[in-house]
Amino acid sequence: MSDPALGLTMLALIVVVIMMGFPTAFTLMGLGMFFGFFALHDPTQPWTQNHIFDLIVQRTYGAMTNDTLISIPLFVLMGYVMERGALVDKMFYSVQLAFRRVPASLAVATLVICTFWGIASGLVGAVVVLMGVIAFNPMLRAGYDVRLASGVITAGGTLGILIPPSVMIIVYAAVAGQSVVKLYASAMFPGFFLSFLYLLYIVGWAMINPKIAPPLPEEETKVPVTEWVAKMQRAYSPNMLVTLTKALFSPGKGLAAGGVTYGSIVKNFTAAIFPAVMTVATFYLIWWYVVIHQQATVDVDTPQKAKAAATAPAKATGAAVAPGAPPEEKLEELGAGSTERSSANAPSKDEPLEELGTPELAQGPLTAAEQGPDPQFYWWFWGLAAASVVTLAWYYRKMQAEQFEILKLLTSSVMPLGILTVIVLAVILFGITTATESAAVGAAGAYILAIQAGTLDWKRVKESVFLTAKTTAMVCWLFVGSALFSAVFAILGGQQLVERWVLSLNMTPVQFMLLSQAIIFVLGWPLEWTEIIVIFVPIFLPLLKHFNIDPILWGTLVFVNLQAAFLSPPVAMSAFYLKGVSPSHVTLNQIFSGMMPYMLIVIICMVIMYLWPGMTLWLPNYLYGG
């Protein structure tokens, strides 16, 4: 048997052995060692001198020194601390009350919690199990169709590996050699868009067929109003914002009514204006980043970047200095720039000095953000600002006691987690920290939230750390196994054989995109995302350059595509997670039936992403250029 045929045999065997239930990481290493031993066998040397053993050490060391993987244990720890801290119960109750007037309100609340809890934890199994315990039985008791209840939990729970911060994105970045921050930015909008498509499906199905999600009884949607709120309304006004504002400046009536202190009035007034404060802060930060900060940055950095852009073509043709740029006027550059000038005759292959932080944010020509806002930005900005003012005015005009109580519940349960998530993502996307530093911020924030909630004890801390070590070890060994497997597969000529076969088909880029995504979709039925990312994605990556396909766009399509891997039988892990905590009368077939429509929604989302690539590429191109 020829070497390429051995490579294809190895590829087929890995699928069969994994489906038989053997551990993926050690299966990859075992097959890599077995086939690599014959591929690198030298009859003139003893078997102990086989180079496969050197290759094993090299690949293991390469995984150990891969900086991209450092953020995995910290993000995983962040998720496990939040999951063990039991922070989601109160959140589900408050969100359910907020959506009580919406069709299929329990399912909508479940999807919202799955989306944001998945962002915070990034753990599919933990989110599905947790929401199965909290939301599945209430939906069944309310008369919801089993397919609707199971589908929203299993599909919503998988969003955690798509919306950043995601371990899957980090693994892909390490395999593909791409920027983690660019991949995070590219997956942001598609992740929320897919969640929005799920929401449209749930609400639309409930409106077409109300029997699948009967309205909740009045007693279950009634918001409990505390006694002091009713007294304050009688003393001042039915509108709670007016009441709290008057009580803030004239507290006599409120204090006389009893049950309240001036400190509690200030605290509740702060909670009442929290939506307005967050709206103003959001628009201010957008204006500051797009208009003020970028302009200040351009004023400082434009001379260097302009000269670098002007001299780049000259350097490519051997010219030393761009025309019209006197040497004495050039600003001295630090790091690799000074090294390049001080050793003009040095070989071009010299390694540049390592840059700290996020190097890709500071290299190359001006990004769209640094070039200043587009004229359309002002129309969009002030239009959205006006719409927000109108919405807030309508909301505060309708703020009665029930709305105020719901706002307090949301402020105390959702906002802390939401603020932590936004901070973790913002410091990554805006280049303030690296992904690893951001993960450390998230893990520390998770501990603070759990301690503040009073739900974290020493036992749960130990469980979180143990599960983090277990998950991290699995990912790292998986990376070692995949590196060894891919190297042996390439040595045997399997990679070249696949490339020649694909190129012989004379496909267009669109046809290759469809073929590669279809293969990954089919592989998602028997395999999990880890096997697909570390085994099969490296086979397609070298072909992307030939077809002129952006690896960021292709990778983001793979991330969305792999949502189906958790929803497709027979290895639909979300279904088995949910079955483990569901009542005995709920069968796997019912859960599978509920998941199937979401697989179609995933395909629709991928089609829209391909037809409108700006949804994927606009944010990374705007922030980092491209």
CB count in 10 Å sphere of residue 86: 15
The residue-averaged pLDDT of 563-574 equals 78
Choose between 593 and 432: higher pLDDT: 593
Helix (H) or strand (E) holding 459: helix 458-491
pLDDT at 253 over 50: yes
Q: Judge contact between 158 and 124, C-beta under 8 A.
A: yes
Q: Quick one: DSSP state of residue 222?
A: P
**Rounded to 5°, angle at Cα 516 from 513 and 520:** 135
The pLDDT tens digits for 429-443 are 877 788 788 888 888
What percentage of the chain exceeds 90 in pLDDT? 24
307 pLDDT higher than 60: no
* Residue 221: per-residue pLDDT: 79
CA–CA separation, 23 and 417 (whole Å): 35
| pLDDT for 379 beyond 80 | yes
Q: Which amino acid is at 554?
A: W
Q: How many CB atoms lie within 10 A of CB 454?
A: 8
- Quick check: 358 pLDDT over 80? no
pLDDT tier at 300 (50, 70, 90 boundaries)?
low
* Number of helices followed by number of strands (H, E) in the chain: 32, 0
Say what the pLDDT of residue 201 is: 95
Does position 329 have pLDDT exceeding 50, yes or no?
A: no
pLDDT bin (cut points 50, 70, 90) of residue 303 is: low
| Residues in the chain, overall count | 626
pTM greater than 0.85: no
Percent of the chain beyond pLDDT 70? Answer: 85
Q: Mean pLDDT throughout 371-386? A: 85
Residue where the block lists tokens 């590429």: 617
- Residue with more model confidence, 354 or 547: 547
| Predicted local confidence at residue 322, as pLDDT | 39
Quick one: pLDDT band at residue 384, thresholds 50, 70, 90?
very high
Q: Are 445 and 423 in contact (CB under 8 A)?
A: yes
Q: What is the pLDDT of residues 580-592, one digit of tens each?
A: 888 888 888 899 9
- Which residues are CB-contacts of 488 (< 8 A; sequence separation ≥ 6)? 7, 10, 32, 35, 36, 39, 52, 55
Higher pLDDT, 564 or 194: 194
**Contact between residue 405 and residue 240 where contact means Cβ atoms under 8 Å apart:** no
What residues does each domain of the chain span? 70-221+431-471
Q: What is the pLDDT of residues 408-434, one digit of tens each?
A: 988 888 888 888 888 888 888 877 788
pLDDT surpasses 90 at 559 = yes
Residue 268 tokens, joined: 């509740």
Nearest C-alpha neighbor of 280 from the set 197, 384, 364, 171:
384
The pLDDT value recorded for residue 148 is 94
> Mind spelling out the 3-state secondary structure of 108-163?
HHHHHHHHHHHHHHCCHHHHHHHHHHHHHHHHHHCCCCHHHHHHHHHHHHHHHHCC
